């Protein structure tokens, strides 16, 4: 993707397509509108409400071949998210018009500074332009991929800052697409080993440190929970640790631990039809953790960020792990398996306890498609947040509002502990209780972080949309969490 920022009169832009913003009830500007636009407004076909579009083919007024008017609604009601949404509609309309590049006149909005406007517009367009077409054979029938956009400023002011923010936004959005591609890939074509190759090439390209724990090393270290989950699979597991030191003088490190189940069949507690079909996405946490470190290094963030990715499959086979068995975790705590489908917390338990004892981060954040209960509680678009540290969790809440990757806190309470007591081991991996499944998942993980500040993000809902697009979130993998955590790491 190519982005360009210029200061030029929109009338003079020679492009296939130019995007002009129209605000509802804008009586000042109205006088200068071209005739076809005024006609459309008079006939009430178009009034500039949010995301409303109108295409016209100018003979005068503009040098561009086509003009797409994009409604932004009432100026007083506009915010960053409305801009993202309106401009994701622009991206989709441009695709329908088979435009692989276009020019965008940036709106001037009283209550939002021009740098933020440029950022939100770019996010809306780039995030909204994604589609996963790898397995479509008739490429001619597909709308073209977006190759470049030119942002047109109406004044020279802040042009350097705007260029900088647009370039930064491009890098972030390219990485969101990278995560979406990883999640959408066939589970048969991905594995702990393909993720390892990916991490190796990223580490080489960006000069990052990568440690790889193989099955043999996991055995030696006593990571028996990851090994148990992977025991029904043929492919070997991996634990990848990819480190970016953007602030080498500081000892502070932030760890992001991502659940990397390449496919979750449920194991012997096999998932039924209707629940299996989306389970190639059960590695979204690991994909996002990888994307975050890649982005941080491309942006040269001045922070130390370590991605920890436990990767394996939860399958059914002659040596699958079984309900009723007890396994000892990396931190020597024992777990009685009551449900092989509660596998995410098991691999995270080993990865988290390894992270807090070996990496000793200032804060560890885990990203996990952990429970369907979290989707029941918070729906498709909001992640569940559980934490032992209010200072960090309130900052993350704010990043959620700013990026519109919303998180909502669920309480952790020791009152839940009794439910997961085991008669033969230290704890059960899944209780007999029917309620608060998301919190029980969080409570389980809490056993493996000691006193380290920790935030658990249950992204089962927002990481993958199985029904339909939602604004700039595409159907399938969404890349949720990457913009959120990068915003957070710029804050802490
Ligand atoms: N990967 C699933 C959770 C999930 C479900 C993510 C739907 C995305 C969409 C997880 O491993 C799982 O199966 N969780 C169980 C936990 C239960 C057995 C305690 C669940 O949510 O049903
Ligand atoms: Zn599961
Ligand atoms: Zn799972």
Can you name the CATH fold of 190-489?
Answer: Aminopeptidase (3.40.630)
Burial label, 469 (beta-carbon count in 10 A; 0-12, 13-18, 19+): middle
| Rounded CA separation 482/468 (Å) | 21
Q: List the domain boundaries for the chain.
A: 4-173, 190-489
Q: Beta strands 238-245 and 209-213: pairing type?
A: antiparallel
Question: Could you tell me if the CB of 265 is within 6 A of ligand 1?
Answer: no
**256-306, pLDDT tens digit by residue?**
999 999 999 999 999 999 999 999 999 999 999 999 999 999 999 999 999
Q: Which among 460, 463, 466, 480 is the best mutation to test ligand 1's pocket, defined by most ligand atoms within 8 Å of the CB?
A: 460
pLDDT for 374: 98
Question: Could you tell me if the CB of 282 is within 6 A of ligand 1?
Answer: yes
Region 142-150: what's the mean pLDDT? 94
Answer yes or no: 345 catalytic: yes
Nearest ligand 1 atom to the CA of 437 is 19
Ligand 1, atom 5, lies closest to the CA of 372
Give residue 148's pLDDT band: very low, low, confident or very high (50, 70, 90).
very high
Question: Could you tell me if the CB of 371 is within 6 A of ligand 1?
Answer: yes
Q: How far is the CA of 369 from the centre of ligand 2 (A)?
A: 9
pLDDT for 353: 98
**458-476, pLDDT tens digit by residue?**
999 999 999 999 999 999 9
Chain mean pLDDT for the chain:
97
Nearest ligand 1 atom to the CA of 373 is 21
Give the closest residue to 462 by CA, choosing from 281, 303, 315: 281
Question: Could you tell me if the CB of 372 is within 6 A of ligand 1?
Answer: yes
Query: Which residue among 190, 259, 345, 446 is the active-site one?
Result: 345
- Report the b/e string of 167-192 with b at 16+ CB within 10 A: ebbbebbebbbbbbbbbbbebeebbb
| Rounded CA separation 434/437 (Å) | 7
Q: Which residues pair with 436 in a beta bridge?
A: none
Does 32 have pLDDT greater than 90?
Answer: no
| DSSP code at position 344 | H
pLDDT for 61: 87
The alpha helices in 223-305, defined as continuous H runs, are 224-230, 284-299
Q: How far is the CA of 283 from the centre of ligand 3 (A)?
A: 8
- What sign for the dihedral angle of Cα 109, 114, 115, 121? positive
The alpha-carbon radius of gyration of the chain (Å, integer) is: 24
Helix, strand, coil percentages for the chain (3-state, nearest 5): 40, 20, 40
Does 29 have pLDDT greater than 90?
Answer: no
What share of the chain in percent tops pLDDT 70?
A: 100
Give residue 98's pLDDT band: very low, low, confident or very high (50, 70, 90).
very high
| Apex 157 CA angle, 155 and 158, nearest 5 | 130
**363-409, pLDDT tens digit by residue?**
999 999 999 999 999 999 999 999 999 999 999 999 999 999 999 99
Q: Which among 260, 370, 373, 442 is the best mutation to test ligand 1's pocket, defined by most ligand atoms within 8 Å of the CB?
A: 370
Q: Rounded to 5 degrees, what are φ and ψ at 211? A: -110, 140
Question: Could you tell me if the CB of 369 is within 6 A of ligand 1?
Answer: yes
Does 166 have pLDDT greater than 90?
Answer: yes
| Rounded CA separation 353/448 (Å) | 5
Residue 124 vs residues 9, 111, 155, 179, 481: alpha-carbon distances, Å: 23, 19, 22, 17, 16
pLDDT for 218: 98
Ligand 1, atom 14, lies closest to the CA of 371
| DSSP code at position 405 | -
List CB-based neighbours of ion ligand 3 within 5 Å. 261, 264, 282, 344
pLDDT for 431: 95
Does 27 have pLDDT greater than 80?
Answer: no
Region 206-219: what's the mean pLDDT? 98
pLDDT for 141: 86
What share of the chain in percent tops pLDDT 90?
A: 96
Ligand lying closest to the C-alpha of residue 462: 1
Residue length of the chain: 492
| Rounded CA separation 363/254 (Å) | 5
Does 92 have pLDDT greater than 80?
Answer: yes
Q: Which among 342, 379, 442, 466 is the best mutation to test ligand 1's pocket, defined by most ligand atoms within 8 Å of the CB?
A: 342
Question: Could you tell me if the CB of 285 is within 6 A of ligand 1?
Answer: no
pLDDT for 310: 99
CATH architecture assignment, domain 4-173: 3-Layer(aba) Sandwich (3.40)
pLDDT for 77: 97
- Tokens (6 digits) for 227: 């090994």
Nearest ligand 1 atom to the CA of 372 is 21
Report the 10 Å Cβ neighbour count for 215: 17
Nearest ligand 1 atom to the CA of 278 is 9
Region 57-85: what's the mean pLDDT? 96
Question: Could you tell me if the CB of 374 is within 6 A of ligand 1?
Answer: no
Query: Which residue among 47, 65, 168, 271 is the active-site one?
Result: 271
Question: Could you tell me if the CB of 458 is within 6 A of ligand 1?
Answer: no
pLDDT for 197: 98
Distance of CA 156 to the CA centre of its chain: 34
Question: Could you tell me if the CB of 436 is within 6 A of ligand 1?
Answer: no
Answer yes or no: 98 catalytic: no
Does 26 have pLDDT greater than 80?
Answer: no
Query: The pTM is what?
Result: 0.98
Question: Could you tell me if the CB of 196 is within 6 A of ligand 1?
Answer: no
Q: Rounded to 5 degrees, what are φ and ψ at 264? A: -110, 100
Are the beta carbons of 464 and 478 closer than 8 angstroms?
Answer: yes
pLDDT for 30: 79
| Apex 462 CA angle, 487 and 391, nearest 5 | 40
Q: Rounded to 5 degrees, what are φ and ψ at 311? A: -130, 125
Q: How far is the CA of 306 from the centre of ligand 3 (A)?
A: 22
The alpha helices in 8-152, defined as continuous H runs, are 27-30, 35-42, 80-96, 114-128
């Amino acid at each position: 993707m190519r982005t360009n920022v210029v200061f030029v009169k929109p009338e003079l832009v020679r492009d296939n397509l130019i995007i002009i913003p129209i605000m509802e009830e804008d009586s000042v500007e109205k006088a200068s509108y071209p005739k076809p636009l005024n006609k459309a407004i008079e006939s009430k076909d178009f009034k500039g409400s949010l995301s409303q579009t109108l295409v016209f083919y100018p003979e005068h007024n503009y040098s561009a071949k086509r003009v797409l008017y994009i409604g932004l609604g009432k100026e007083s009601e506009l915010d960053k998210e409305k801009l993202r949404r309106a401009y994701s509609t622009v991206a989709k309309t441009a695709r329908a018009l088979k435009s692989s590049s276009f020019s965008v006149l940036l709106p001037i909005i009283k209550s939002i500074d021009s740098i933020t406007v440029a950022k939100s517009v770019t996010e809306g367009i780039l995030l909204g332009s994604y589609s996963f077409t790898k397995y479509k054979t008739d490429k001619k029938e597909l709308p073209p991929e977006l190759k470049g956009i030119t942002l047109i400023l109406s004044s020279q002011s802040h042009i350097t800052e705007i260029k900088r923010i647009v370039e930064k936004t491009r890098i972030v959005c390219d990485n969101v697409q990278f995560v979406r591609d990883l999640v959408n890939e066939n589970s048969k074509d991905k594995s702990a080993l393909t993720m390892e190759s990916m991490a190796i090439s990223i580490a080489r390209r960006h000069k990052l440190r990568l440690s790889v724990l193989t099955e043999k090393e996991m055995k030696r270290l006593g990571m028996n929970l990851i090994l148990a989950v992977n025991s029904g699979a043929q492919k070997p597991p991996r634990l990848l640790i990819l480190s970016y030191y953007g602030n080498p003088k500081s000892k502070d490190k932030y760890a992001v631990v991502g659940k990397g189940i390449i496919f979750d069949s449920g194991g012997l507690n096999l998932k039924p039809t209707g629940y299996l079909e989306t389970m190639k996405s059960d590695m979204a946490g690991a994909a996002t953790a990888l994307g975050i470190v890649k982005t941080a290094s491309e942006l040269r963030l001045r922070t130390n960020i370590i991605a920890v990715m436990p990767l394996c499959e939860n399958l059914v086979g002659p040596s699958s792990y079984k309900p009723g068995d007890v396994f000892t975790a990396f931190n020597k705590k024992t777990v009685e398996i009551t449900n092989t489908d509660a596998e995410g917390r098991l691999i995270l338990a080993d990865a988290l306890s390894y992270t807090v004892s070996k990496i000793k981060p200032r804060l560890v954040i885990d990203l996990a498609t952990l429970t369907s209960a979290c989707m029941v509680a918070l729906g498709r678009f909001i992640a569940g947040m559980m934490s032992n540290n209010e200072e960090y969790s309130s900052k993350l809440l704010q990043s959620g509002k700013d990026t519109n990757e919303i998180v909502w806190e669920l309480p952790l309470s020791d009152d839940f502990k009794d439910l997961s007591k085991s008669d033969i081991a230290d704890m059960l991996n899944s209780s007999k209780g029917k309620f608060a499944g998301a919190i029980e998942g969080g409570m389980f993980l809490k056993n493996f972080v000691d006193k380290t500040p920790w935030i658990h993000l249950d992204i089962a809902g927002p990481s993958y949309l199985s029904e339909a697009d939602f604004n700039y979130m595409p159907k399938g993998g969404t890349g949720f969490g990457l913009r959120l955590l990068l915003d957070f790491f710029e804050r802490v």
